[in-house]
Amino acid sequence: MSKEIKSAAEFDAAIKEGNVVVDFFAVWCNPCQHLGGVIEEVEPNYKNVKFIKVDVDQLPELAARFSVESIPNVFFFKDGKEVSSFLGFRYKSEFESFVKKAFNIA
């Protein structure tokens, strides 16, 4: 299950190394909840990828840092550098395509 980030410092530490998927969401957002379900289903298939989530209402400074104005908004980081992103809900197959492409997974 994706770890929910509670501070900017925790976020910075989480994305520093490796492959990281960041789900910016809100608890009141229905598409966010559906995407969260897709992420939970896909997550076990990618042992070398860390999945985290950021509640934009709890950490508005992180949402502002990444210009998140609409949700769900997903970012892909490799060793602290943003390599890809998408906005809106995605079905499982499309979400997996984003993960594979962002991190060069066959």
Where in the chain are the domains? 3-102
Would residue 92 show up in a list of annotated catalytic residues for this protein?
A: no
At 66-75, the pLDDT tens digits run: 999 999 999 9
- pLDDT, the chain, mean: 97
Contact 38, 8 (CB under 8 A): no
pLDDT mean over 83-92 = 97
pLDDT mean over 53-57 = 98
3-state secondary structure of 23: strand
pLDDT mean over 73-97 = 97
Of the candidates 20, 21, 32, 35, the residue annotated as catalytic is 32
Q: What CATH number belongs to 3-102?
A: 3.40.30.10
Above 90 in pLDDT, residue 41?
yes
At 14-23, the pLDDT tens digits run: 999 999 999 9
Nearest to 36 by CA among 83, 102, 89: 89
Would residue 85 show up in a list of annotated catalytic residues for this protein?
A: no
Contact 67, 43 (CB under 8 A): no
Of the candidates 15, 22, 29, 71, the residue annotated as catalytic is 29
3-state secondary structure of 56: coil
Contact 64, 72 (CB under 8 A): no
Q: What per-residue confidence (pLDDT) applies to 106?
A: 83
pLDDT mean over 38-63 = 97
Backbone angles phi, psi at 66, to 5 degrees: -105, 15
Above 90 in pLDDT, residue 1?
no
Return d(Cα 56, Cα 67) in angstroms, integer: 11
